């Protein structure tokens, strides 16, 4: 099974690595990390680096395509017509096309989510409307062969669900046990609808600070506060 994970500078590492830990264990899995150019890819924190062994010109098909998200780097990717064309080409060959976090904005920019329900990170989910998608605040949601997930850690949930669709619930449950995925967070603030207002405001400030690390994207966005502006409940 060919699993293609697209990576790019500024990505949020767990968006890619969380699903990788699950999907790489599928029978006969072959995982390829793919970028626009081969080489080292730097995450949004600038501390972690991944290696793309393939560039997009070398990959023309996949059974599973995964598009991870980022704090603001997804904006650059969503404006890259060559990348969007490649995503469309790969999507025509996939059994499953998936995204985590703001990766759904990239799928939407490629035209794959028009008139479809989709989810994303709470800070950018409203952007789906600009591409004709229907934002929905689900942990993950399936529309045909496309599955989108909320932010970062939701990629693990989505991947376990995908495994259940491919090889059944019993093996998916065993995968969950194998990686000991039994989250018990110390706080009940992991969802925009559960967090209190001070926590939401602090999270927005953190997002803004992280966004400013990438000055190229900052220049494009110009005002990241407009990007992460969100009314509670939307």
Do 127 and 105 form a contact (C-beta atoms < 8 A)?
yes
Mean pLDDT of 127-134: 97
Point out the catalytic residue in the list 52, 101, 156, 227. Answer: 101
- SS3 state at 67: strand
Do 124 and 94 form a contact (C-beta atoms < 8 A)?
no
- SS3 state at 63: coil
What is the pLDDT, as a whole number, of residue 231? 39
Q: Can you give the length of the chain in residues? A: 234
> Span 2-179: which CATH code?
3.40.50.880
pLDDT tens digits, one per residue of 100-125 = 999 999 999 999 999 999 999 999 99
What is the pLDDT, as a whole number, of residue 225? 45
Has 85 been annotated as catalytic?
no
For residue 182, the tally of other CB atoms under 10 A from its CB is 7
Mean pLDDT of 36-54: 95
pTM (predicted TM-score): 0.90
> What is the C-alpha to C-alpha distance for residues 201 and 206, in angstroms, rounded to an integer?
9
The answer on pLDDT for 218 being more than 80 is no
Q: Using the Cα atoms of residue 95, residue 108, residue 8 and residue 10 in order, give the sign of their dihedral.
A: negative
pLDDT tens digits, one per residue of 163-208 = 999 999 999 999 999 999 999 999 999 999 999 999 999 998 888 8
In 96-213, alpha helices (H) = 103-109, 154-167, 169-178, 197-211
> What is the C-alpha to C-alpha distance for residues 112 and 132, in angstroms, rounded to an integer?
10
What is the pLDDT, as a whole number, of residue 216? 53
pLDDT confidence tier of residue 66, bands split at 50, 70 and 90: very high
Q: How far apart are the first and last CA of the chain?
A: 37
């Amino acid at each position: 099974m060919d699993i293609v994970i697209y990576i790019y500078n500024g990505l949020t590492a767990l968006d890619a690595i969380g699903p990788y830990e699950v999907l790489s264990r599928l029978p006969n899995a072959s995982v390829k990390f793919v970028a626009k150019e081969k080489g080292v890819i730097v995450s949004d924190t600038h501390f972690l680096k991944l290696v793309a062994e393939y560039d997009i010109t070398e990959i023309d098909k996949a059974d599973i395509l995964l598009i991870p998200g980022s704090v603001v780097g997804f904006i650059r990717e969503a404006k890259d017509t060559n990348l969007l064309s490649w995503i469309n080409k790969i999507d025509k060959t996939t059994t499953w096309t998936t995204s985590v976090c703001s990766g759904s904005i990239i799928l939407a920019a490629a035209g794959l989510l028009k008139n479809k329900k989709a989810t994303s990170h709470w800070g950018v989910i409203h952007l789906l409307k600009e591409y004709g998608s229907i934002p929905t605040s689900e942990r993950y949601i399936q529309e045909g062969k496309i599955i989108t997930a909320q932010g970062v850690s939701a990629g693990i949930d989505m991947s376990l669900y995908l495994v259940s669709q491919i090889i059944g619930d019993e093996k998916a449950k065993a995968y969950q046990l194998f990686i000991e995925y039994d989250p018990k967070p110390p706080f009940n603030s992991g969802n925009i609808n559960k967090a209190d207002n001070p926590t939401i405001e602090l999270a927005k400030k953190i997002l803004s600070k992280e966004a400013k690390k990438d000055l190229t994207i900052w220049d494009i966005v110009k005002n990241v506060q407009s990007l992460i502006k969100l009314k509670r409940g939307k």
